[in-house]
A and B are shown apart, each in its own frame.
Chain A
Amino acid sequence: MKNEPPRIDWPEEGPTRSPYRVMNDPEIYRQEMQRIFRGPVWHYLCLDCEIPNAGDFRTTFIGENPIIVTRDADGGINAMVNRCAHKGALLCIDPCGNRKEFACVYHAWTYSLKGDLTAVAFQRGLAGTGGMPSDFDLKQHGLERVRVENFCGMVYGTFDDKLEDVETYLGPEMSAHVRRIFNRPVEVIGYSHQLLPNNWKLYMENSRDPYHATILHAFYATFKLNRLSMQGGVALGHNGWHNLLYSAAERDIQKDDYQGKGLRSVIKDVGLEDSSFLTRLQEFDDGITVAIQSIFPTCNTQQIYNTLAIRQTVPLGLTKSELHVTCFGYKDDDAELRRMRNQQANLIGPAGYVSMEDGSVGGYVQRGIAGADKDEASIMEMGGRDIKQSPGVRATEVALRGFWQAYRELMGF
Protein backbone atom coordinates (compact mmCIF):
# COMPACT_ATOMS: atom_id res chain seq x y z
CA MET A 1 0.00 0.00 0.00
CA LYS A 2 1.40 3.36 -0.98
CA ASN A 3 1.53 5.80 1.87
CA GLU A 4 1.87 8.94 -0.20
CA PRO A 5 -0.71 11.54 0.85
CA PRO A 6 -3.25 12.50 -1.78
CA ARG A 7 -2.32 15.80 -3.37
CA ILE A 8 -4.29 18.65 -1.95
CA ASP A 9 -3.70 22.34 -2.37
CA TRP A 10 -4.47 23.71 1.07
CA PRO A 11 -5.75 27.27 0.75
CA GLU A 12 -2.99 29.85 1.16
CA GLU A 13 -4.86 31.32 4.17
CA GLY A 14 -3.52 28.33 6.14
CA PRO A 15 -5.30 27.15 9.31
CA THR A 16 -8.11 29.70 8.91
CA ARG A 17 -9.40 27.55 6.07
CA SER A 18 -10.34 23.90 5.80
CA PRO A 19 -11.15 22.51 2.34
CA TYR A 20 -14.51 20.72 2.24
CA ARG A 21 -12.76 17.97 0.32
CA VAL A 22 -11.21 16.61 3.54
CA MET A 23 -14.75 15.72 4.67
CA ASN A 24 -15.83 13.88 1.54
CA ASP A 25 -12.82 12.33 -0.18
CA PRO A 26 -12.54 8.57 0.47
CA GLU A 27 -8.82 8.54 -0.34
CA ILE A 28 -8.15 11.21 2.30
CA TYR A 29 -10.18 9.18 4.80
CA ARG A 30 -8.10 6.09 4.04
CA GLN A 31 -4.91 8.07 4.60
CA GLU A 32 -6.23 9.40 7.93
CA MET A 33 -6.60 5.82 9.15
CA GLN A 34 -2.87 5.34 8.53
CA ARG A 35 -1.35 8.72 9.25
CA ILE A 36 -3.49 9.76 12.22
CA PHE A 37 -5.02 6.65 13.78
CA ARG A 38 -1.88 4.53 13.27
CA GLY A 39 0.34 7.60 13.51
CA PRO A 40 2.32 9.35 16.27
CA VAL A 41 -0.75 10.04 18.37
CA TRP A 42 -2.08 8.83 21.75
CA HIS A 43 -5.69 7.60 21.63
CA TYR A 44 -7.97 7.37 24.64
CA LEU A 45 -9.04 3.72 25.14
CA CYS A 46 -10.95 3.44 28.41
CA LEU A 47 -10.85 4.29 32.09
CA ASP A 48 -8.57 2.33 34.38
CA CYS A 49 -11.54 1.88 36.78
CA GLU A 50 -13.51 -0.05 34.11
CA ILE A 51 -11.06 -2.97 34.28
CA PRO A 52 -10.07 -3.20 37.97
CA ASN A 53 -9.52 -6.97 38.32
CA ALA A 54 -7.32 -9.57 36.63
CA GLY A 55 -9.13 -10.84 33.53
CA ASP A 56 -11.33 -7.74 33.16
CA PHE A 57 -11.52 -6.45 29.62
CA ARG A 58 -13.16 -3.71 27.64
CA THR A 59 -13.42 -3.44 23.86
CA THR A 60 -13.04 -0.15 22.03
CA PHE A 61 -11.64 1.31 18.79
CA ILE A 62 -8.64 3.21 17.47
CA GLY A 63 -9.96 4.67 14.26
CA GLU A 64 -11.73 1.70 12.68
CA ASN A 65 -9.46 -0.85 14.37
CA PRO A 66 -11.27 -2.94 16.99
CA ILE A 67 -9.24 -3.02 20.21
CA ILE A 68 -9.33 -5.14 23.39
CA VAL A 69 -7.99 -3.63 26.61
CA THR A 70 -7.26 -6.14 29.39
CA ARG A 71 -6.04 -6.32 32.97
CA ASP A 72 -3.56 -9.20 33.25
CA ALA A 73 -2.77 -11.38 36.27
CA ASP A 74 0.15 -9.09 37.17
CA GLY A 75 -2.14 -6.06 37.36
CA GLY A 76 -0.79 -4.63 34.11
CA ILE A 77 -2.94 -3.09 31.38
CA ASN A 78 -2.58 -4.45 27.84
CA ALA A 79 -4.18 -3.45 24.56
CA MET A 80 -4.29 -5.51 21.39
CA VAL A 81 -6.06 -5.34 18.08
CA ASN A 82 -9.24 -7.41 18.44
CA ARG A 83 -8.48 -9.48 15.35
CA CYS A 84 -7.52 -13.14 15.37
CA ALA A 85 -4.10 -13.72 13.78
CA HIS A 86 -5.51 -16.69 11.84
CA LYS A 87 -8.39 -15.41 9.71
CA GLY A 88 -8.89 -11.92 11.10
CA ALA A 89 -12.16 -12.65 12.93
CA LEU A 90 -13.18 -10.52 15.90
CA LEU A 91 -11.95 -12.35 18.98
CA CYS A 92 -14.20 -10.67 21.46
CA ILE A 93 -17.71 -9.40 20.73
CA ASP A 94 -18.73 -8.28 24.23
CA PRO A 95 -18.20 -4.65 25.23
CA CYS A 96 -16.80 -5.70 28.62
CA GLY A 97 -16.47 -8.68 30.93
CA ASN A 98 -13.95 -10.99 32.54
CA ARG A 99 -12.01 -13.78 30.80
CA LYS A 100 -9.05 -16.00 31.57
CA GLU A 101 -8.06 -16.01 27.90
CA PHE A 102 -9.50 -15.15 24.49
CA ALA A 103 -10.40 -18.08 22.25
CA CYS A 104 -11.52 -17.37 18.71
CA VAL A 105 -14.90 -19.00 18.06
CA TYR A 106 -13.94 -19.79 14.45
CA HIS A 107 -10.99 -22.22 14.90
CA ALA A 108 -10.23 -21.87 18.63
CA TRP A 109 -6.91 -20.08 18.29
CA THR A 110 -6.41 -18.96 21.88
CA TYR A 111 -4.63 -15.91 23.27
CA SER A 112 -3.51 -14.86 26.73
CA LEU A 113 -4.62 -11.62 28.38
CA LYS A 114 -1.38 -10.13 27.07
CA GLY A 115 -2.16 -11.13 23.49
CA ASP A 116 0.24 -14.10 23.16
CA LEU A 117 -0.99 -16.99 21.04
CA THR A 118 -1.07 -19.94 23.45
CA ALA A 119 -2.86 -22.67 21.49
CA VAL A 120 -3.94 -23.58 17.98
CA ALA A 121 -6.67 -26.24 17.70
CA PHE A 122 -5.42 -29.50 16.12
CA GLN A 123 -1.90 -28.06 15.87
CA ARG A 124 -0.58 -31.66 15.70
CA GLY A 125 -3.44 -32.81 13.49
CA LEU A 126 -5.69 -35.79 14.07
CA ALA A 127 -4.34 -39.35 14.35
CA GLY A 128 -1.04 -38.23 12.88
CA THR A 129 -2.49 -36.53 9.83
CA GLY A 130 -2.96 -32.89 9.03
CA GLY A 131 -2.05 -30.24 11.54
CA MET A 132 0.23 -27.24 11.26
CA PRO A 133 3.75 -27.56 9.84
CA SER A 134 6.26 -28.61 12.52
CA ASP A 135 8.06 -25.27 12.33
CA PHE A 136 4.88 -23.26 13.02
CA ASP A 137 5.86 -20.94 15.90
CA LEU A 138 3.08 -19.73 18.18
CA LYS A 139 5.33 -16.85 19.31
CA GLN A 140 5.29 -15.35 15.83
CA HIS A 141 1.50 -15.14 15.70
CA GLY A 142 0.28 -13.20 18.70
CA LEU A 143 -2.25 -10.39 18.44
CA GLU A 144 -1.03 -7.04 17.18
CA ARG A 145 0.01 -5.10 20.27
CA VAL A 146 -0.94 -1.55 21.07
CA ARG A 147 1.41 0.37 23.34
CA VAL A 148 -0.53 1.56 26.41
CA GLU A 149 -0.08 4.10 29.16
CA ASN A 150 -2.28 4.83 32.14
CA PHE A 151 -2.26 8.57 32.81
CA CYS A 152 -4.28 9.63 35.86
CA GLY A 153 -6.72 6.74 35.34
CA MET A 154 -7.21 7.41 31.62
CA VAL A 155 -5.83 4.54 29.55
CA TYR A 156 -4.26 5.66 26.27
CA GLY A 157 -2.95 3.57 23.39
CA THR A 158 -0.78 4.13 20.32
CA PHE A 159 0.63 2.11 17.44
CA ASP A 160 3.76 4.28 17.54
CA ASP A 161 6.66 2.78 19.54
CA LYS A 162 8.70 5.98 19.52
CA LEU A 163 6.07 8.49 20.60
CA GLU A 164 6.82 10.47 23.79
CA ASP A 165 4.90 9.63 26.98
CA VAL A 166 1.29 10.83 27.40
CA GLU A 167 2.18 13.68 29.75
CA THR A 168 4.70 15.12 27.28
CA TYR A 169 2.23 14.57 24.44
CA LEU A 170 -0.45 16.51 26.33
CA GLY A 171 1.88 19.27 27.52
CA PRO A 172 1.77 20.95 30.95
CA GLU A 173 -1.51 22.88 30.54
CA MET A 174 -3.55 19.90 29.34
CA SER A 175 -1.94 17.48 31.81
CA ALA A 176 -2.88 19.87 34.61
CA HIS A 177 -6.51 19.82 33.51
CA VAL A 178 -6.60 16.01 33.34
CA ARG A 179 -5.19 15.98 36.90
CA ARG A 180 -7.84 18.52 37.94
CA ILE A 181 -10.67 16.22 36.82
CA PHE A 182 -9.05 12.94 37.87
CA ASN A 183 -8.03 14.29 41.26
CA ARG A 184 -9.35 11.24 43.14
CA PRO A 185 -10.79 7.81 42.31
CA VAL A 186 -13.70 7.82 39.87
CA GLU A 187 -16.38 5.31 38.92
CA VAL A 188 -18.60 5.01 35.86
CA ILE A 189 -22.22 6.15 36.34
CA GLY A 190 -23.49 5.53 32.79
CA TYR A 191 -22.75 5.30 29.10
CA SER A 192 -24.30 6.79 25.99
CA HIS A 193 -23.70 6.19 22.31
CA GLN A 194 -24.78 8.63 19.63
CA LEU A 195 -24.62 8.01 15.90
CA LEU A 196 -23.47 11.16 14.11
CA PRO A 197 -24.39 11.55 10.42
CA ASN A 198 -21.07 13.18 9.59
CA ASN A 199 -17.33 12.75 9.11
CA TRP A 200 -15.51 12.41 12.44
CA LYS A 201 -13.66 15.71 11.98
CA LEU A 202 -16.89 17.71 11.95
CA TYR A 203 -17.47 16.67 15.55
CA MET A 204 -13.83 17.50 16.34
CA GLU A 205 -14.50 21.02 15.07
CA ASN A 206 -17.77 21.25 16.98
CA SER A 207 -16.22 20.28 20.32
CA ARG A 208 -13.45 22.90 19.85
CA ASP A 209 -15.87 25.69 19.01
CA PRO A 210 -17.11 28.03 21.78
CA TYR A 211 -18.53 30.39 19.11
CA HIS A 212 -21.54 28.15 18.40
CA ALA A 213 -22.39 27.19 21.96
CA THR A 214 -24.80 29.98 22.88
CA ILE A 215 -26.16 30.30 19.34
CA LEU A 216 -26.94 26.73 18.27
CA HIS A 217 -27.68 25.55 21.82
CA ALA A 218 -30.52 27.99 22.38
CA PHE A 219 -31.35 26.44 25.76
CA TYR A 220 -28.34 28.25 27.25
CA ALA A 221 -29.49 31.70 26.19
CA THR A 222 -33.23 31.10 26.59
CA PHE A 223 -32.73 30.05 30.18
CA LYS A 224 -29.84 32.44 30.88
CA LEU A 225 -27.36 29.67 31.69
CA ASN A 226 -24.43 30.69 29.53
CA ARG A 227 -23.58 33.79 27.58
CA LEU A 228 -20.52 34.50 25.51
CA SER A 229 -20.01 37.51 27.80
CA MET A 230 -19.31 35.29 30.81
CA GLN A 231 -15.71 34.97 31.90
CA GLY A 232 -13.80 32.14 30.30
CA GLY A 233 -11.32 31.45 27.56
CA VAL A 234 -9.33 28.97 25.54
CA ALA A 235 -6.07 27.35 26.68
CA LEU A 236 -3.93 25.51 24.15
CA GLY A 237 -1.54 22.60 24.62
CA HIS A 238 1.15 21.07 22.37
CA ASN A 239 1.11 24.10 20.01
CA GLY A 240 -2.64 23.94 19.65
CA TRP A 241 -3.05 20.20 19.06
CA HIS A 242 -5.09 20.07 22.26
CA ASN A 243 -7.15 22.71 23.99
CA LEU A 244 -9.43 23.56 26.85
CA LEU A 245 -12.56 25.70 26.51
CA TYR A 246 -13.64 26.96 29.90
CA SER A 247 -16.13 29.31 31.45
CA ALA A 248 -17.29 30.29 34.90
CA ALA A 249 -20.94 31.00 35.52
CA GLU A 250 -20.96 31.72 39.21
CA ARG A 251 -21.49 35.45 38.80
CA ASP A 252 -24.84 34.77 37.21
CA ILE A 253 -26.43 32.57 39.81
CA GLN A 254 -27.35 32.46 43.43
CA LYS A 255 -25.26 30.64 45.98
CA ASP A 256 -25.92 29.03 49.30
CA ASP A 257 -23.95 26.75 51.51
CA TYR A 258 -23.89 23.07 50.82
CA GLN A 259 -23.00 21.27 54.03
CA GLY A 260 -19.79 23.24 54.32
CA LYS A 261 -18.16 21.39 51.40
CA GLY A 262 -18.80 23.75 48.57
CA LEU A 263 -21.42 25.93 47.03
CA ARG A 264 -24.74 24.77 45.76
CA SER A 265 -26.40 26.89 43.15
CA VAL A 266 -30.11 26.81 42.65
CA ILE A 267 -31.16 28.46 39.44
CA LYS A 268 -34.43 30.30 39.76
CA ASP A 269 -36.65 32.41 37.56
CA VAL A 270 -35.33 31.11 34.28
CA GLY A 271 -38.71 30.32 32.77
CA LEU A 272 -38.67 26.58 33.38
CA GLU A 273 -41.60 24.94 35.16
CA ASP A 274 -39.20 22.88 37.27
CA SER A 275 -35.54 23.86 37.24
CA SER A 276 -34.61 21.59 40.15
CA PHE A 277 -32.45 19.47 37.85
CA LEU A 278 -30.13 22.46 37.46
CA THR A 279 -29.25 22.42 41.17
CA ARG A 280 -25.52 22.04 41.28
CA LEU A 281 -22.46 21.95 43.45
CA GLN A 282 -19.37 24.05 42.80
CA GLU A 283 -16.93 21.21 43.23
CA PHE A 284 -13.75 22.77 41.82
CA ASP A 285 -11.87 25.54 43.64
CA ASP A 286 -11.11 27.43 40.42
CA GLY A 287 -14.78 28.35 39.93
CA ILE A 288 -14.91 26.90 36.42
CA THR A 289 -18.38 25.51 35.72
CA VAL A 290 -18.04 24.36 32.10
CA ALA A 291 -14.78 22.93 30.75
CA ILE A 292 -14.52 21.02 27.48
CA GLN A 293 -11.05 19.70 26.74
CA SER A 294 -10.01 18.30 23.37
CA ILE A 295 -7.14 15.84 23.26
CA PHE A 296 -6.01 15.32 19.66
CA PRO A 297 -7.42 13.63 17.77
CA THR A 298 -10.73 12.23 19.07
CA CYS A 299 -10.95 12.48 22.86
CA ASN A 300 -12.79 15.10 24.88
CA THR A 301 -13.02 15.45 28.62
CA GLN A 302 -16.20 17.16 29.74
CA GLN A 303 -17.29 19.04 32.82
CA ILE A 304 -20.67 20.68 32.37
CA TYR A 305 -21.63 21.74 35.90
CA ASN A 306 -21.56 18.38 37.77
CA THR A 307 -21.64 16.13 34.72
CA LEU A 308 -18.21 14.61 34.16
CA ALA A 309 -17.53 12.52 31.09
CA ILE A 310 -15.08 11.32 28.50
CA ARG A 311 -16.24 11.53 24.90
CA GLN A 312 -14.56 9.38 22.29
CA THR A 313 -15.39 9.86 18.61
CA VAL A 314 -15.14 6.71 16.51
CA PRO A 315 -15.06 7.07 12.71
CA LEU A 316 -17.52 4.76 10.93
CA GLY A 317 -16.56 5.48 7.34
CA LEU A 318 -16.35 8.76 5.46
CA THR A 319 -19.71 10.25 6.44
CA LYS A 320 -20.61 8.57 9.73
CA SER A 321 -19.14 8.52 13.20
CA GLU A 322 -20.22 7.52 16.67
CA LEU A 323 -19.80 9.32 19.93
CA HIS A 324 -19.05 7.00 22.85
CA VAL A 325 -19.63 8.83 26.12
CA THR A 326 -18.54 7.48 29.49
CA CYS A 327 -20.03 9.45 32.39
CA PHE A 328 -18.42 9.18 35.79
CA GLY A 329 -18.49 10.51 39.32
CA TYR A 330 -16.10 10.27 42.24
CA LYS A 331 -16.17 7.17 44.40
CA ASP A 332 -16.69 9.40 47.45
CA ASP A 333 -19.76 11.21 46.02
CA ASP A 334 -22.55 11.41 48.57
CA ALA A 335 -26.08 10.46 47.50
CA GLU A 336 -27.11 14.06 46.84
CA LEU A 337 -24.14 14.84 44.60
CA ARG A 338 -24.64 11.58 42.68
CA ARG A 339 -28.33 12.50 42.25
CA MET A 340 -27.26 15.91 40.85
CA ARG A 341 -24.95 14.24 38.33
CA ASN A 342 -27.77 11.94 37.20
CA GLN A 343 -30.35 14.73 37.01
CA GLN A 344 -28.01 17.04 35.12
CA ALA A 345 -27.59 14.28 32.53
CA ASN A 346 -30.73 15.92 31.07
CA LEU A 347 -28.34 18.57 29.74
CA ILE A 348 -25.92 16.25 27.93
CA GLY A 349 -25.91 13.36 25.49
CA PRO A 350 -28.22 12.66 22.54
CA ALA A 351 -31.28 14.02 24.41
CA GLY A 352 -29.37 16.75 26.23
CA TYR A 353 -30.94 20.21 26.37
CA VAL A 354 -27.55 21.81 25.54
CA SER A 355 -26.05 19.09 23.37
CA MET A 356 -28.64 17.36 21.20
CA GLU A 357 -28.12 19.89 18.38
CA ASP A 358 -24.53 18.72 17.97
CA GLY A 359 -25.99 15.42 16.73
CA SER A 360 -27.68 17.06 13.77
CA VAL A 361 -25.53 20.06 12.87
CA GLY A 362 -22.63 17.95 11.62
CA GLY A 363 -25.07 16.28 9.25
CA TYR A 364 -26.22 19.67 7.98
CA VAL A 365 -22.59 20.46 7.10
CA GLN A 366 -21.95 17.01 5.60
CA ARG A 367 -25.02 17.32 3.37
CA GLY A 368 -24.30 20.98 2.64
CA ILE A 369 -20.81 20.33 1.30
CA ALA A 370 -21.82 17.39 -0.91
CA GLY A 371 -20.78 18.16 -4.46
CA ALA A 372 -18.66 21.17 -3.43
CA ASP A 373 -16.05 22.47 -5.83
CA LYS A 374 -12.53 21.31 -5.01
CA ASP A 375 -11.44 24.78 -3.95
CA GLU A 376 -14.30 25.52 -1.55
CA ALA A 377 -13.34 25.77 2.10
CA SER A 378 -14.75 26.71 5.49
CA ILE A 379 -13.65 29.93 7.22
CA MET A 380 -12.23 30.21 10.75
CA GLU A 381 -11.18 33.81 11.45
CA MET A 382 -13.17 34.46 14.63
CA GLY A 383 -10.68 35.66 17.26
CA GLY A 384 -7.95 36.33 14.72
CA ARG A 385 -5.91 34.26 12.27
CA ASP A 386 -3.20 32.94 14.56
CA ILE A 387 -2.89 30.09 17.04
CA LYS A 388 -2.11 31.43 20.50
CA GLN A 389 -3.24 31.13 24.11
CA SER A 390 -6.52 33.00 24.44
CA PRO A 391 -7.35 33.62 28.09
CA GLY A 392 -10.48 35.70 28.51
CA VAL A 393 -11.52 35.15 24.88
CA ARG A 394 -14.60 33.07 24.10
CA ALA A 395 -15.68 34.46 20.72
CA THR A 396 -12.86 32.64 18.98
CA GLU A 397 -12.15 29.76 16.64
CA VAL A 398 -8.52 29.49 17.75
CA ALA A 399 -8.96 25.88 18.88
CA LEU A 400 -10.22 24.86 15.42
CA ARG A 401 -7.18 26.48 13.83
CA GLY A 402 -5.04 24.44 16.23
CA PHE A 403 -6.80 21.24 15.17
CA TRP A 404 -6.27 21.92 11.47
CA GLN A 405 -2.63 22.79 12.01
CA ALA A 406 -2.09 19.43 13.77
CA TYR A 407 -4.07 17.64 11.06
CA ARG A 408 -1.97 19.14 8.25
CA GLU A 409 1.24 18.27 10.09
CA LEU A 410 0.25 14.60 10.34
CA MET A 411 -1.32 14.33 6.90
CA GLY A 412 1.50 16.11 5.10
CA PHE A 413 -0.91 18.68 3.61
Chain B
Amino acid sequence: MAKATLDDATRRKITDLNDSYIRAIDDDRLEEWPVLFTEKCLYRITTRENYARGFEMPLMEGISRGMLIDRVTGYRRVNIYEPHRYTHMVSGLAVEKIDGNRVTCRQNYLVIRTMINGEMTVFSAGIYYDKILLGADGAMFEERIVVQESCRVDTLLVIPL
Protein backbone atom coordinates (compact mmCIF):
# COMPACT_ATOMS: atom_id res chain seq x y z
CA MET B 1 0.00 0.00 0.00
CA ALA B 2 2.17 2.78 -1.30
CA LYS B 3 1.19 6.06 0.31
CA ALA B 4 3.74 8.26 -1.39
CA THR B 5 5.09 8.64 -4.88
CA LEU B 6 8.70 9.15 -5.78
CA ASP B 7 10.15 11.56 -8.29
CA ASP B 8 12.40 9.92 -10.85
CA ALA B 9 15.65 11.16 -9.33
CA THR B 10 14.75 9.77 -5.90
CA ARG B 11 13.60 6.48 -7.35
CA ARG B 12 16.90 6.17 -9.19
CA LYS B 13 18.89 6.78 -5.99
CA ILE B 14 16.95 4.03 -4.20
CA THR B 15 17.31 1.64 -7.11
CA ASP B 16 21.06 2.34 -7.33
CA LEU B 17 21.44 1.69 -3.60
CA ASN B 18 19.60 -1.62 -3.87
CA ASP B 19 21.59 -2.63 -6.92
CA SER B 20 24.86 -1.86 -5.10
CA TYR B 21 23.64 -3.94 -2.15
CA ILE B 22 22.87 -6.92 -4.37
CA ARG B 23 26.15 -6.65 -6.30
CA ALA B 24 28.24 -6.38 -3.10
CA ILE B 25 26.73 -9.60 -1.75
CA ASP B 26 26.15 -11.70 -4.87
CA ASP B 27 29.53 -10.82 -6.44
CA ASP B 28 31.27 -11.69 -3.16
CA ARG B 29 32.54 -8.14 -2.72
CA LEU B 30 31.17 -8.05 0.80
CA GLU B 31 33.64 -5.34 1.89
CA GLU B 32 31.51 -2.94 -0.17
CA TRP B 33 28.39 -3.84 1.82
CA PRO B 34 28.92 -1.93 5.13
CA VAL B 35 29.60 1.38 3.37
CA LEU B 36 26.04 1.35 2.03
CA PHE B 37 24.90 1.99 5.63
CA THR B 38 25.17 5.15 7.70
CA GLU B 39 27.75 5.11 10.51
CA LYS B 40 25.01 4.61 13.10
CA CYS B 41 22.47 2.25 11.58
CA LEU B 42 20.30 -0.77 12.14
CA TYR B 43 20.71 -3.95 10.10
CA ARG B 44 18.68 -6.79 11.51
CA ILE B 45 17.74 -10.21 10.17
CA THR B 46 14.70 -11.67 11.88
CA THR B 47 11.87 -14.07 11.13
CA ARG B 48 8.19 -13.37 10.53
CA GLU B 49 7.48 -15.34 13.71
CA ASN B 50 9.59 -13.05 15.88
CA TYR B 51 8.74 -9.83 14.02
CA ALA B 52 4.99 -10.39 14.25
CA ARG B 53 5.23 -10.98 17.99
CA GLY B 54 7.28 -7.85 18.55
CA PHE B 55 10.42 -9.74 19.60
CA GLU B 56 13.52 -7.65 18.89
CA MET B 57 15.87 -10.61 19.23
CA PRO B 58 17.75 -10.86 15.91
CA LEU B 59 19.29 -13.75 14.05
CA MET B 60 21.96 -11.25 13.00
CA GLU B 61 22.21 -7.58 13.88
CA GLY B 62 24.49 -4.59 13.51
CA ILE B 63 23.77 -1.19 15.04
CA SER B 64 26.85 0.48 13.60
CA ARG B 65 28.85 0.26 10.38
CA GLY B 66 31.63 -1.23 12.53
CA MET B 67 29.44 -4.16 13.50
CA LEU B 68 28.70 -4.81 9.84
CA ILE B 69 32.45 -4.73 9.08
CA ASP B 70 32.90 -7.29 11.89
CA ARG B 71 30.38 -9.58 10.19
CA VAL B 72 32.45 -9.33 7.01
CA THR B 73 35.57 -10.19 9.03
CA GLY B 74 33.73 -13.17 10.51
CA TYR B 75 32.75 -14.31 7.04
CA ARG B 76 36.22 -13.85 5.54
CA ARG B 77 38.53 -14.96 8.34
CA VAL B 78 36.85 -16.44 11.39
CA ASN B 79 33.67 -18.43 10.88
CA ILE B 80 33.76 -21.88 9.31
CA TYR B 81 31.21 -22.93 6.71
CA GLU B 82 30.93 -24.66 3.39
CA PRO B 83 31.53 -22.31 0.41
CA HIS B 84 28.31 -21.00 -1.10
CA ARG B 85 26.96 -18.00 -2.99
CA TYR B 86 23.70 -16.10 -3.09
CA THR B 87 21.56 -14.92 -5.98
CA HIS B 88 19.24 -12.10 -4.94
CA MET B 89 15.97 -11.19 -6.65
CA VAL B 90 14.42 -7.99 -5.32
CA SER B 91 11.12 -6.50 -6.44
CA GLY B 92 7.95 -4.65 -5.50
CA LEU B 93 9.20 -1.34 -4.11
CA ALA B 94 6.46 0.26 -2.01
CA VAL B 95 7.08 3.67 -0.48
CA GLU B 96 5.36 4.19 2.87
CA LYS B 97 6.57 7.65 3.73
CA ILE B 98 8.81 10.46 2.51
CA ASP B 99 9.93 12.79 5.26
CA GLY B 100 12.41 15.39 4.00
CA ASN B 101 15.44 13.35 2.91
CA ARG B 102 14.27 10.13 4.58
CA VAL B 103 12.29 7.49 2.71
CA THR B 104 10.54 4.62 4.45
CA CYS B 105 9.88 1.76 2.05
CA ARG B 106 9.79 -1.97 1.62
CA GLN B 107 10.52 -4.58 -1.04
CA ASN B 108 10.29 -8.33 -1.48
CA TYR B 109 13.50 -10.32 -1.66
CA LEU B 110 14.36 -13.86 -2.70
CA VAL B 111 17.74 -15.45 -2.07
CA ILE B 112 18.76 -18.64 -3.86
CA ARG B 113 21.77 -20.37 -2.31
CA THR B 114 24.16 -22.35 -4.51
CA MET B 115 26.59 -24.81 -2.91
CA ILE B 116 29.82 -25.94 -4.57
CA ASN B 117 28.35 -29.39 -5.26
CA GLY B 118 25.73 -27.68 -7.43
CA GLU B 119 22.80 -27.86 -5.03
CA MET B 120 20.55 -24.79 -5.44
CA THR B 121 17.94 -23.99 -2.81
CA VAL B 122 15.48 -21.23 -2.07
CA PHE B 123 17.38 -20.23 1.05
CA SER B 124 15.35 -17.23 2.17
CA ALA B 125 12.44 -15.09 1.02
CA GLY B 126 10.78 -12.19 2.74
CA ILE B 127 10.60 -8.42 3.01
CA TYR B 128 13.16 -5.67 3.43
CA TYR B 129 11.77 -2.90 5.64
CA ASP B 130 14.03 0.08 4.90
CA LYS B 131 14.71 3.60 6.10
CA ILE B 132 16.82 5.27 3.44
CA LEU B 133 18.69 8.54 3.80
CA LEU B 134 18.88 10.57 0.58
CA GLY B 135 21.98 12.64 -0.17
CA ALA B 136 22.96 14.92 -3.02
CA ASP B 137 24.72 12.14 -4.96
CA GLY B 138 23.03 9.01 -3.73
CA ALA B 139 21.39 7.23 -0.84
CA MET B 140 22.35 5.14 2.20
CA PHE B 141 20.55 2.72 4.46
CA GLU B 142 19.84 4.06 7.92
CA GLU B 143 17.89 0.93 8.61
CA ARG B 144 17.24 -2.36 6.87
CA ILE B 145 15.18 -4.94 8.73
CA VAL B 146 15.15 -8.24 6.86
CA VAL B 147 12.04 -10.20 7.77
CA GLN B 148 12.38 -13.77 6.50
CA GLU B 149 9.00 -15.43 6.04
CA SER B 150 10.22 -18.82 7.21
CA CYS B 151 10.91 -19.42 10.88
CA ARG B 152 13.69 -21.82 9.89
CA VAL B 153 17.24 -21.43 8.64
CA ASP B 154 18.82 -24.27 6.69
CA THR B 155 22.16 -25.18 8.28
CA LEU B 156 23.60 -21.71 8.93
CA LEU B 157 23.48 -18.05 8.01
CA VAL B 158 26.87 -16.36 7.54
CA ILE B 159 26.38 -14.08 4.50
CA PRO B 160 23.93 -11.23 5.09
CA LEU B 161 20.60 -11.54 3.29
Q: Tell whether B154 is near chain A: CB-to-CB under 8 Å.
A: yes
CA distance A189 to B152 in the complex (A): 17
Q: Can you list 27 A-B pairs, Cβ within 8 angstroms, ordered by A?
A: A95-B49, A189-B57, A190-B55, A190-B57, A191-B47, A191-B49, A191-B50, A191-B55, A193-B152, A194-B155, A196-B155, A218-B78, A219-B79, A274-B70, A276-B63, A327-B57, A342-B56, A342-B58, A345-B57, A350-B155, A351-B45, A351-B153, A351-B158, A356-B79, A357-B80, A360-B155, A360-B156
A195 lies within 8 A of chain B by Cβ: yes
B77: chain A residues within 8 A (beta carbon): 222
CB atoms of A219 and B152 under 8 A apart: no
Given A219-B74, A273-B69, A273-B70, the answer on whether A359 and B155 have CB atoms closer than 8 Å is yes
Chain A's interface size range is 35 or more
B61 within 8 A of A: yes
- A350 pairs with B153, CB closer than 8 A: yes
SS class, residues of chain B in contact with chain A:
mixed
User: A207 to nearest B CB, angstroms?
Assistant: 16
The B48-71 residues at the A interface (CB cut-off 8 A) are 49-50, 55-67, 69-70
Contact with B58, one of A95, A322, A346, A356 (Cβ below 8 angstroms): A346
Is there contact, CB below 8 Å, between A353 and B79?
Answer: yes
- Asked if A351 meets B69 with Cβ closer than 8 Å, knowing A216-B80, A360-B82, the reply is no
CA distance in complex: A351, B81 (Å): 11
**Residue B112 interfacial (CB < 8 Å):** no
Chain B contact residues, CB within 8 Å of chain A: 45, 47, 49-50, 55-67, 69-70, 73-74, 77-82, 151-158
- Chain A binding surface, main DSSP class: mixed
| In the complex, chain A residues whose CB is within 8 Å of the CB of B152 | 193-195, 322
Q: Which residues of A contact B67 (CB under 8 A)?
A: 273-274, 276-277
Let me know if A192 is at the binding interface, CB within 8 A: yes
A147 to chain B, nearest CB (A): 29
Chain B residues within 8 Å of A216, by CB? 80
Q: Would you give the shortest CB distance from B47 to chain A, in whole angstroms?
A: 7
Q: Is the CB of A363 within 8 A of B58?
A: no
Is A201's CB within 8 Å of the partner chain B?
A: no
Q: Which residues of A contact B59 (CB under 8 A)?
A: 192, 345, 349-351
A197 CB–B CB distance under 8 Å: yes
Q: Mark A27-61, 1 if CB is under 8 A from B, else 0.
A: 00000000000000000000000000000000000
Docked complex Cα distance between A407 and B52 (Å): 40
Known: A191-B49, A276-B63. 8 other contacts (CB 8 A): A189-B56, A190-B50, A190-B56, A341-B57, A345-B59, A349-B153, A357-B81, A359-B155
Complex CA gap A216/B79 in Å reads 9
